[in-house]
Amino acid sequence: MKSEHRHELKTNELAEWLINLPQWTKENLITIVCVSAVIVVLAGVYLWRGYNRNILQVRERTEFTNLVNQVSGAKIQIVSAKEQGRDLAFMLIQLAKNLDTFAQNTKNNRMAAMALVKRAQALRAELHYGTVEQQYIIDQTNKAKASYTTAMAKSSTNPVLAAAAEFGLGLCEEELGNFEQARQIYRQIVANPDYEGIVTVAQAEFRLKTMADYEQKIAFEPDPNPEPVAASKPSIDTKPAELKLPANIIPPFNFNRPLDLSMFAEANEPGGSEE
């Protein structure tokens, strides 16, 4: 009986609420409209932000891919121009600036770290392809080191990018002649448990094994048995000398040359009547 009584009470309350609903709606119409508008605005803002974020990510990925492709294309052009005696290594400097600008503008730390790693690689490549002075090498390599260091800070949650940036620091130290600092960086990479299974570890191990070869300065000695320089020979004129024939001798007729009537003495005499 008690359960039936409760059920009956609930039914009566529901029926009473439905009967009073139109009147309650009229009394609270403004409140209902305001709350509904707020909900619609919040939902619209949330959906718009998600859509805008996706569009921005696609745009940034496209821009970054284009910059990386431009760096690869510039390297091919530089090598091709070098074979023709032209130095186009300066093309990589502008591309490095573009990558730095991209890294500063993006809000995605992963994209920023990748751009900074590519910027450092472009700076180092410009030194390898071009003919530069020692102080310029030091300055540009220090810029590359700063770029690698910032990339490491932005990729603290991404061990692949962090390992690539740290390996780049080791390469910079090698190029500056600081081989002990480079060894220390490579050892840190190999010993870091967060980098386990990453290909950069194998690269660091290889550099540790072969670095002794790069420490030695290579000097090319002159050839002990150089080939003798061929003596220049006087040029021989192969053009036949012009043959001078007497005036009363007719040269042989040449079909490729028009007949010269001046060779006949009668042709130079004034015309007269035949006898």
CATH of residue 154's domain is 1.20.190.20
Residue 83 domain flag: yes
Q: How far apart are the C-alpha atoms of 211 and 177, rounded to whole Å?
A: 11
Apex CA 69: angle with CA 67 and CA 70, to 5°? 65
Residue 112 domain flag: yes
Q: How far apart are the C-alpha atoms of 264 and 241, rounded to whole Å?
A: 24
Total number of domains in the chain = 1
Residue 195 near residue 163, CB atoms below 8 Å: yes
pLDDT score recorded for residue 58: 83
pLDDT score recorded for residue 93: 93
pLDDT score recorded for residue 213: 81
Question: Exposure of 137 by Cβ count < 10 A (0-12 exposed, 13-18 middle, 19+ buried)?
Answer: middle
Q: How far apart are the C-alpha atoms of 200 and 171, rounded to whole Å?
A: 12
Residue 150 domain flag: yes
Residue 274 domain flag: no
Residue 205 domain flag: yes
Domain that includes residue 43, residue range: 38-215
Q: How far apart are the C-alpha atoms of 165 and 151, rounded to whole Å?
A: 6
Each residue's pLDDT expressed in tens, for the chain with a length of 275 residues: 455 545 554 566 667 776 777 777 777 778 877 877 888 887 777 666 765 667 877 888 899 999 999 999 999 999 999 888 888 889 999 999 999 999 999 989 999 999 999 999 999 999 998 888 999 999 999 999 999 999 999 998 999 999 999 999 999 999 999 999 999 999 999 999 999 999 999 999 999 999 888 776 665 566 667 666 555 555 555 555 555 555 555 555 454 455 454 544 444 444 444 44
Residue 201 near residue 190, CB atoms below 8 Å: yes
Residue 252 domain flag: no
Residue 200 domain flag: yes
Residue 225 domain flag: no
